[in-house]
Structure 1
């Protein structure tokens, strides 16, 4: 005998009916919205917390917590009302309002919480993202309650709803990562998704005419407030690319110079009228190694373009040289070309350097690794396998110079030096003396020939930079058996976290 449930609760009025197709579409849609918010949260928080493993861990964890709470709450609340179909509209309107609030919440709280360690990062993510994901995740269990009329089909009904939710999540993920991030600013995308969600909710709200509309009224007010705040709280970016929040910051003591700011990081100093003006110590260390180890025109491969300050310097000081730049972010290249007016380079290849480094030839004099910024480290550009690919594009006398940033016990720096030593016969470390104690920028030099440490120190002094260079036994003592980074095991974020902690 089949047992029919909810017949008394659903009744026969128009306000209780929902077709199976509409119900499935709603589950698909809300699951897609949750994943859109999750993917875009990485870009939304990046200007304040950076792009690190910790950032994405916090986002994934908070969103999963929201889904868990939302599905529990939605199912429990659906059991308490006579007509659960009347809940869906107000839930979507409220979810849209909370989604609209994520942008102003992140922008207002990000500067203080984003740099407050893991606790602050989780708090920022929870305040900005958790409410919207939790409310929207209440939809699937409510829908199950609405359409489940026969216990004999429970498995098929729940399985169908689960499959539709997963399919929606997949569409939301792919659409966000491959289309939306590269097409629209994050704030515009989130506000558009929020408005569409609320519009669907208002339609359902009117269609099912819930007797208690307090939740709907609150949601509409919240949506309006969230939309106004999103428009009024300005973006910290001059331009938002698929990877960075990029800004040009004027330099107070030089009207001809600007700073390139990427997310939370000061990335480059560019003097538009004097390319030999190298203010940052990391770039001056690069210049010191090039001056000490090469003569005349050189062929340079730059892993990371940034503000193009080093290619500018090479072109200005070594006429007839060749600069090839590997840059992940094509929109950033366009922004830099428009705002910072760098000297033309022979070729700019847009894409991940791990892929493009094998497509550029094999006779460079110098490879410059400057794709690192603060705690945002592309780990796959630190491994022995990648360094072997770098070695493969160098000529017989070529060398690799890499900018590294580390603090505390310098665990990541030591690991990278140990890794380089497995690929190159000669390795050195250059930095300001005090940084060996307090951390900061370091330059790794890895070469196929002996490294003239004293010459690098002399070239740095000519650029008003007093550095030390560790080689041989001194370097071995500093590295002290640090672990080697490989494609199979490169816990770069953890090493940096241990160092900064």
Structure 2
């Protein structure tokens, strides 16, 4: 339509179309860069959309004025007023719109202190404000079991957490292992604010939360300074690709002491292509690896699972007993069984980490 409006002669077709194409391309590049690198990191999405709407209204008013004067002013005014009213009365599902998420806090009717943190409608954390030792999600109980099986009971730890969410596990470590020092890298400052204002973070001793990307946070840690590194960062159901690669795992290994443990929570389904690739990555970086997760038949089943890595050998029996004691229903896979399961998977690197392509979403047709 714009081409037709601008075209006054067929002889100018190439010039007009080329000019409009160039302007459109320049606008797309500027919009992508401005939104992706500036606006999203500083404004909530609703603010960006409302701002865009206001710019469009202002642009249409300018065009109206230059083309026809103010004859269309009543209609334009009505549209602006209607849009403004809609933004104030339309229902919103967010308790807080952070830089990256629509966040909600849901109270558990069965536990007075129970709170579930939802980010974009997905359950990310469950926190009991009255009892930090209560672990609702199976994967968190499995993580606690793994730590209990690999470290003496009650021993304080120096821990680092890639991803914060509701900080369920740092709270648990503070309560069960007094003196534990946890550093948490959480990229979303809005989530950190929820932790402080709605989930009681201020009363948790020994937990330092840094608003930063986990990969950058890793680089700031001293060599051999951590007993435990926990990977629990997600964008939706996907682990951010740059936290899955061999280069990132080399940094994890660097910050761990000689007996240190890396435990990563991941989600995958179907053929588990991502899980196998990440296991292959850990096997290339660490001397010993293990997988904890639900098992169907003779192979791991889809859903949450923990990948474990260390330069110290694992005790499969102790790990399995700890998982059973927590009622997880999970099984430990190590040694030749794990090697056979990984076979053929390509390790992830900074140059090749197609995490989103490897992931297979859950589908009821899977039969689970």
Q: TM-score range by the shorter chain?
A: 0.7 to 0.9
Residue 273 (structure 1) aligned with residue 98 (structure 2): no
The partner residue of 1:352 within 191, 210, 213 is 213
Gaps of 5+ in 1: 1-72, 81-144
Q: Is residue 187–residue 230 contact of structure 1 (8 Å, CA) maintained in 2?
A: no
Call closer, same or farther: CA 1:272–1:392 in 2, change over 3 Å. same
What's the counterpart of residue 318 of structure 2?
A: 455
Structure 1 residue 354, shift from structure 2 partner: 1.3
Task: Give SS of 2:261's match.
Answer: strand
The 3-state SS of whatever aligns with 1:476 is: helix
1:374·1:405 contact (CA, 8 Å) conserved in 2? no
Q: Contact (CA 8 Å) 1:286, 1:443: kept in 2 or not?
A: yes
| Other-structure match for 2:196 | 337
Question: Of the candidates 281, 305, 321, which is equivalent to residue 442 of structure 1?
Answer: 305
- Report which of the two has the higher share of helix: 1
Matched, 1:421 2:283: yes
Partner of 2:250: 388
TM-score between both structures, scaled by the size of structure 2: 0.86
Hey, what does 2:332 align to over in structure 1?
Answer: 469
Q: Rate the CA distance shift 1:499–1:238 in 2: closer, same or farther, 3 A.
A: closer
Separation of aligned partners in 2, 1:460 and 1:74: 65
C-alpha contact 1:259 1:267 (8 A) present in aligned 2: yes
1:470-501 deviations in Å (ceiling 9; x for gaps):
00011112223212111111111111148869
- The one of 351, 356, 366 equivalent to 1:488 is 351
| Matched residue, 1:361 | 222
Please tell me whether the aligned partners of residues 238 and 248 of structure 1 are also in contact (alpha carbons under 8 angstroms): yes
Correspondence 1:194 to 2:53? yes
Q: When the two structures are superposed, what TM-score results if normalisation uses the length of structure 1?
A: 0.64
Is residue 268–residue 303 contact of structure 2 (8 Å, CA) maintained in 1?
A: yes
User: C-alpha separation between the residues in 2 aligned to 1:465 and 1:162?
Assistant: 58
Specify the alignment match of 1:246 in structure 2.
103
Distance 1:302 1:499 in 2: 26
| Cα distance change on mapping 1:189 and 1:338 into 2, 3 Å | same
**Correspondent of 1:314 among 164, 173, 176:** 173
SS at 1:254's partner residue?
Answer: coil
Contact 1:410/1:499 (CA < 8 Å) preserved in 2?
no
| Structure 2 equivalent of residue 110 of structure 1 | none
Q: Secondary structure at the match of 2:51?
A: helix
Shift of 1:202: 2.0
Q: Secondary structure at the match of 1:419?
A: helix
Which residue number corresponds to residue 163 of structure 2? 304
Higher share of residues assigned strand: 2
- Alignment partners' CA distance in 1, 2:244 and 2:42: 30
Relative to structure 1, is the Cα distance of residues 171 and 319 closer, same or farther in structure 2, using a 3 angstrom cutoff? same
d(CA) in 2 for partners of 1:498 and 1:405? 9
Residues 1:217 and 1:473: Cα distance change in structure 2 (over 3 Å) = farther
Higher mean C-alpha deviation, range 456-465 or range 288-297? 456-465
Q: Give distance in 2, aligned partners of 1:433 and 1:373.
A: 25
For the residues of structure 2 that align with 1:434 and 1:225, how far apart are their CA atoms? 55
Higher relative contact order (CA 8 A, sep 6+): 1
**CA contact under 8 A between 2:230 and 2:264: conserved in structure 1?**
yes
CA offset at residue 451 of structure 1? 0.8
Q: Per-residue deviation at 1:197?
A: 2.1
1:322–1:345 CA contact under 8 A, matched in 2: yes
Matched, 1:324 2:187: no
Paired residue for 1:255, among 91, 97, 112?
112
Instruction: Work out whether residues 162 and 214 of structure 2, in 8 Å CA contact, stay in contact via their aligned partners in 1.
Output: yes
